[in-house]
Structure formats: C-alpha cells, structure tokens
C-alpha cells in the first residue's frame, strides 16, 4: 500500500515549497472518518484515497488538489459534512470536494437520470475548476484498476462502458493521453475480454522481432538527424490494444494489415528544428500525402502540438512518425495538468482558460436538455471532435466537427441564423444544406425571414448546438399541437358525460386533478392527453364518484373481470409502468433483448415502441412521449437480434457458424453473407435469443470458429 510519506516525497520532487501541511491534515482526517470501512478487495478503504492522491501527485498538481483527492469520498461515504470540511480545510478544498461528490442522496426515477445528473453536476463544477475532473479521472483510474474485485459482471460492464463513453474521451479532450489509453485498455478488457486477449496474444507473438525492428529504425533516424546537426531523442512505442482493435474494426483490417502497431517519436529542442526534421524524413522516405497533419501550426483544442507523418519505410512498410519539441512532449503527456499549474492561491493562466472554452460551451449547449438519454448522447458527441476549420466571408475561422454541414455552421454563428437558414454558398457556389464542409471552405449562409428549422436536418447535423436547437423547436411545435388536440379530446369527452371542460379548467377540481397526476399546469395536462399518456376518461374518473353503492360494486366487479382478461392478453415481454393491456412493439432499429436498458415511446395510434436506451431513433423522439418500461421476467420468449461476423473466406465457413449457433440454443431467422475482393466475408445473421447472457454465450462460441476476425451485435 502506498504511504502518505511517498506522496509528500513526490510533491517535494517538483515543488520544494509545496504546502504539505494541508495534505498531512487531510490524510489524518480521511483516515479517521474512513476507519473501519473496507473496499471490495478487503483492503482498508483508506487505500483508495491514498492511491488517488498519489496519481494527482504524479500529475504534479498543487497541494490543494492532493488534499481534495484524499478527501474526495468523505462527504458521500462518511459522517463528514460540508461545514466541517470548509472549517478545517478552507473554501477552496470544500469547493473541489463538493464538485467531485455524487448526488447519491437525491431521489431519481431511473438510474439513467441519476447518471445524467451526476455527469451534469461534474461538468458544471469542472467548468468552474478543472481540478474537479482531474480528481474524478484519478478516482476512475484506481476504480478501474481494482474492478476485478467487483462480483457483479453486469455492473462491471456498466462501469467499463461509462468509462469508455465519458471518462476516456474527457481525458483525451484534456490532452492527458496516458489516462485515456489506460482507461480505454482496461474498459476494453472487461467489455470484450476475448477480443482483448486475442489482441494481447497477437501483439506479444512476434515481440522479439518487433523490438529488433524498433532498434534498427530508431538507430537509422538518429543517424540521419545527427548527420544534419540535429540533436534529438528518438523513441519507438506500441499502439495500445484498444486503438489496434478499433482500427481493425472500423477499417475491417486483419491484425497483420494494421501498419502502425509501432509508432516512432522524434523529440527536438525548437519548433524550426521539428520542420527541419520533417524535411529530412521526407527526403529519406517517401511520404504518404494524405497522412500528414500539422498540429504545430494548428494545435488541437487540448493544446496538443506535434507533426504527424506516415512514410514508406526501408522495407516498403508504412511507418507513422510524430515530431515535437520537449515542451510539446510534456504537454502531450500531461495535457491540461501541465498548464493548469495553480501556484498556491492563484487562478490558472487566462490564455489557458480561453483555450478550454469548449468546457463552457459544452455546459451551455446542455443547459435546457431535460431528457437524460439526449443529454448523455450530446455529451458523447461533444467529447469526440475531429475538427475541420472553415472561414466566414470576412475571414474569421470557425472550427466544426468532421462531417459538419452549413446548418451546423449557421447555428455556430447564431441560433437565429441557424433557424432561418434556407441555403448556403461554399467557395461561391450554392451547395445542399447537408454538404460536408472541408477545411479551408469559405461559407456564406443565406437566410429568409420567417423560415423555420426542419426535422429532416436532424439526419445530417453534427454539432450538439444545432441538434439541441432543432429538437427544442420540434418539442415546442409538438407541444402546441398536442395541447390543441388534447383540448379538443377533453371537450368532446366531457360533453359526453354532461360536463363542461372549460368550467372544470377554472375550478379548484383542476388543481386537485393536476396533483393526482403529478402535473404542474393545465397546458401540461392537455399535452399529456394529446400525446396519449393520459386519456380524457381518466380525468373524468378522478372527478366522478358513483351515486349508488350498487354501481360501485358493479363497476368493481367489471374492473376485476377486465383485469382477468388483461392478464390473459399480456404476452409481451415488457411491462409499461401505470398502463395495462397496451400494444407493445420493439424498435427494429436497435432490436432490444432482455438485459438491455430500455425505454418506451408512445406512438400515434400504434401503442408503445420499445427501444434500447441510447438508440439514435429513440434519442431523436420528443421526451414528452417517453414512458417508463421494464422487462417482464415472468414471460419466457425469444427476441430477434442482428449480429455481424467478419472472417476470412474458407470452405465450410457458414456450416461451422450455423452449427455453433444452433449448438448454443439460438435459432437462425435469416442470414446474408457476401465475400469481398480481398477474400474477407461479411455475414449478417438475424438470431432469436432469450436475453443478453444467451447472446454473449452465442457470440463467444462463434469467436472460437477458425478464421473469424470479429463478431459483434449490430443495430438495424
């Protein structure tokens, strides 16, 4: 176990004036309040805050950060209070610890809502003080390192998926690549254990031969640089497992075809020497034009700078090489932590704060998003940018994610410009609104007064701001229509029962009914009727009581009989909260099966459609039409699911796949297989499975078939 003295020694290594007194006091307090608590590993709980503090010290953060790391769990997991932390350690430590603390004590309807609100709170705190997220990342690293002690496999996968979706991209946006790589590889190990082991085995297979190759290339580069009078450091490194797997998957490559498993790095003293080294390399080996990127002239948003080039090496193989200065290398390792150096009591450099304005943008874009699915989807989009740079007609540069369109550009200029956008000119020529902008394009937006956004734009816009504004407009339109429809339905139903809806809406009874439905306003009640969440008859029943006990008894008997009929009719594997006997359909876009997190959407006249949480089509639907659903464990049925198998071509392949699928109890509904020119086979199977565990068993069996490259579940 790491000791507090080890942490203090690390702090003194980079700052002899470090205020270690606050760290010492935080350690003593943390040890006292966590006394008697243990981790799942059986170790004292104190090992966790100590490990987190050690990671922060390795990142060369200030004493306040390290102290906050030691205290990051005390408010959530012990009897410690906000007031006590503030009194003992000051407002700065309290502010950071409060930002890191989860919303564990607040009630939420779903786990997804809790996750979204925790993330929203963390992002807000991070926009105010970046040290919040640095502590969260250190906390996540140690939790991932000890995830094997968690007994629940489903929980492990959930934590690993969240790590891959949120925390690794955050580390990347902050430029802390060693954290990104460790989090990705560890999450990969739990999410795709067989694929992880396969990549690990393939990488280690010819390691001795690769080490010889690395030594030879490093020696050759160094010799060329020295001959030109350039002193430099040259390193060869392996790509991490997750990025190798990602490349194989996205580009449909066999392991042998991934050329940049090894990458080389040249580190020099100055920026001009970097460009000089690039010229020497391009004179020595032929460059691959499409693979050159100048991140020195145009740094990434996280301040990463480097020249990236790919050349045809000495034996005709491709070699990826990065060229940077020592300072750039330091930033590439530590990212924001290298710049966000808090001298005790001072705020970070204003220039650095401006470069991380994307954090503030991310917060502002999500301010009005209530639906947890949409919020999480938007954050993921914001965390995965691959920017292109375009110009306004007056020469201002604007950054957009790759695939960005004129509509995204219009919303970037101003929300009103986006909403009124009718067409666009790129480099002086009219282009479709879904045209994908390229770096260097000059974009001019043509607007029309009174023009409104189109729902179709959601199919091609790439920025969160554009998506949010379009969805906001759609929600407003749908709500207005639903209020109008709901009012019409209520007036008609009330007349049928000799009641007047307009009189009711102004009476005290309206407030009582709103409270019973847990709805705030009359318009919201009408919208719920228009959407189909509430029927006018349900409102009337809240108002009416039977005049005679016999009627009540008859109604009660009829209700019981109806309930028995309903019970007989329910055959779907999904239960809709608060609604009986409703038509259930499963979205063909995502094909959910038991074990998937699911949500329901009320359709117009076709019951409830069930989607996987996070499904693109589900996220784009108005959250007002969302309804809670859950799997009905009493129903034993099979569900269709689509899988993609990528393999090398060989005789008997399909027969072997069919045997393995059948042997594991899954039924093949349909199969579509095609062989490409490179002798790779794409096979798409529609299978009937019982649940996620059954599907995982089938996928594991398929992976053992000879010549299989990849097996995965697909949407659609």
Which residue(s) pair with 401 in the sheet?
387
Beta-sheet strand order (sheet of 584-586):
584-586, 608-612, 598-602, 626-627
What SS3 class is residue 586?
strand
Judge contact between 205 and 181, C-beta under 8 A.
no
- Give the E-state strand segments of 511-605 in sequence order: 574-576, 584-586, 598-602
Question: In terms of DSSP H, where are the helices of 367-405?
Answer: 372-383
Is residue 382 within 8 Å of 401, Cβ to Cβ? no
3-state secondary structure of 158: helix
- C-alpha to C-alpha distances, 595 to 194, 372, 666, 694, 695, nearest whole angstrom: 20, 19, 16, 10, 10
- The CA distances from residue 643 to 414, 673, 679, 706, in Å, are 42, 12, 20, 18
Distance, in Å, from the CA atom of 26 to the CA atom of 93, rounded to the nearest integer, reads 10
- For β-strands 639-648 and 708-714, DSSP reports them as antiparallel
Contact 591, 715 (CB under 8 A): yes
Separation of alpha carbons 304 and 334, rounded Å: 10
Query: Would residue 76 show up in a list of annotated catalytic residues for this protein?
Result: yes
CA distances from 651 to 670, 679, 706 (A): 20, 12, 11
Q: Is 165 one of the catalytic residues?
A: no
Four-CA torsion 664, 665, 671, 677, nearest 10 degrees: 0
- Both tokens of 187, joined, read 């999450």
What helix, strand, coil percent values describe the chain, rounded to 5?
55, 15, 30
Burial class (CB in 10 A: 0-12, 13-18, 19+), 636: exposed
Residues 157 and 114 sit within 8 Å (Cβ to Cβ) = no
Q: Of these residues, 76, 84, 128, 630, which one is catalytic? A: 76
Closest C-alpha to 496, from 453, 440, 539: 539
> How far is 248 from 246, CA to CA, in rounded Å?
5
Active-site option among 19, 24, 58, 77: 77
The H or E element spanning position 234 is: strand 233-238
Active site residues: 76-77
């Amino acid at each position: 176990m790491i000791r507090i003295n080890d942490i203090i020694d690390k702090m003194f290594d980079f700052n002899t004036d470090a205020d270690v007194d606050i760290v010492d006091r935080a350690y003593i307090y943390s040890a006292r309040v966590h006394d008697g608590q243990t981790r799942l590993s059986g170790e004292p709980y104190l090992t966790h805050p100590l490990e987190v503090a050690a990671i922060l010290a390795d990142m060369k953060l200030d004493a306040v950060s390290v102290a906050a790391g030691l205290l990051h769990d005390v408010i959530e997991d012990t009897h410690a209070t906000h007031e006590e932390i503030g009194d003992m350690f000051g407002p700065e430590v309290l502010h950071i610890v409060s930002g890191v603390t989860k919303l564990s004590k607040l009630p939420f309807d779903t786990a997804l809502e809790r996750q979204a609100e925790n993330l929203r709170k963390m992002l807000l705190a991070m926009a105010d003080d970046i040290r919040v997220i640095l502590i969260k990342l250190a906390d996540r690293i140690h939790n991932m390192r000890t995830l094997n002690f968690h007994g629940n496999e489903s929980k492990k996968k959930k934590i690993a998926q969240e790590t891959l979706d949120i925390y690794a991209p955050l580390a990347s946006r902050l430029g802390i690549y060693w954290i990104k790589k460790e989090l990705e590889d560890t999450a990969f190990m739990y999410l795709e254990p067989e694929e992880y082991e396969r990549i690990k085995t393939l990488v280690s297979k010819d390691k001795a031969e690769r080490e010889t190759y690395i030594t030879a290339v490093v020696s050759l580069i160094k010799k060329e640089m020295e001959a030109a009078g350039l002193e430099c450091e040259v390193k060869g490194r392996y790509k991490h497992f997750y990025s190798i797997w990602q490349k194989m998957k996205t580009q449909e490559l066999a392991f042998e075809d991934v050329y940049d498993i090894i990458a080389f790095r040249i580190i020099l003293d100055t920026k001009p020497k970097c460009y000089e080294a690039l010229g020497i390399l391009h004179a020595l080996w032929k460059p691959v034009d499409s693979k050159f990127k100048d991140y020195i002239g145009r740094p990434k948003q996280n301040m990463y700078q480097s020249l990236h080039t790919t050349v045809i090496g000495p034996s005709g193989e491709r070699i990826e090489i990065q060229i940077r200065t020592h300072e750039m290398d330091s930033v590439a390792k530590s990212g924001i932590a290298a710049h966000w150096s808090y001298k005790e009591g001072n705020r970070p450099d204003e220039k650095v704060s401006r470069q991380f304005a994307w954090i503030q943008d991310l917060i502002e874009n999500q301010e009005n998003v209530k639906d947890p699915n949409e919020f999480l989807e938007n954050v993921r989009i914001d965390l995965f940018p691959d920017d292109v740079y375009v110009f306004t007609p007056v020469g201002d540069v604007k950054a957009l994610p790759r695939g960005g369109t004129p509509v995204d550009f219009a919303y970037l200029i101003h929300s009103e410009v986006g909403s009124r956008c009718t067409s666009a000119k790129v480099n002086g020529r009219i282009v479709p609104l879904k045209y994908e902008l390229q770096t260097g394009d000059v974009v001019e937006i043509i607007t029309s007064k009174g023009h409104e956004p189109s729902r179709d734009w959601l199919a091609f816009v790439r920025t969160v701001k554009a998506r949010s504004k379009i969805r906001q407009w759609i929600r407003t339109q749908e709500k207005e229509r639903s209020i109008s429809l709901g009012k019409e339905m209520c007036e008609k139903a009330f007349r049928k029962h000799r009641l007047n809806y307009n009189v009711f809406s102004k009476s005290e009874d309206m407030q009582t009914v709103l409270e019973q439905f847990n709805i705030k306003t009359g318009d919201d009640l009408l919208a719920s009727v228009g959407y189909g969440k509430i029927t006018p008859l349900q409102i009337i029943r809240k108002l009416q009581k039977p005049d005679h006990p016999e009627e009540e008894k008859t109604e009660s008997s009829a209700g019981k009989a109806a309930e028995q009929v309903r019970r007989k009719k329910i055959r779907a594997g999904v239960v809709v909260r608060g609604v009986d006997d409703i038509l259930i359909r499963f979205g063909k876009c995502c094909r959910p099966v038991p074990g998937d997190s699911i949500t329901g959407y009320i359709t117009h006249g076709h019951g409830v459609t069930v989607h996987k949480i996070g499904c693109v089509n589900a996220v784009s639907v108005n959250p007002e039409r969302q309804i809670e659903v859950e799997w009905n464990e009493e129903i034993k049925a099979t569900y269709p699911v689509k899988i993609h198998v990528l393999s090398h071509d060989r005789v008997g392949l399909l027969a072997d796949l069919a045997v393995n699928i059948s042997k594991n109890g899954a039924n093949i509904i349909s199969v579509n297989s095609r062989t490409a020119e490179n002798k790779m086979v794409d096979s798409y199977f529609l299978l009937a499975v019982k649940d996620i565990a059954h599907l995982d068993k089938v996928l594991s069996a398929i992976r053992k078939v000879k010549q299989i490259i990849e097996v995965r579940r697909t949407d659609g």
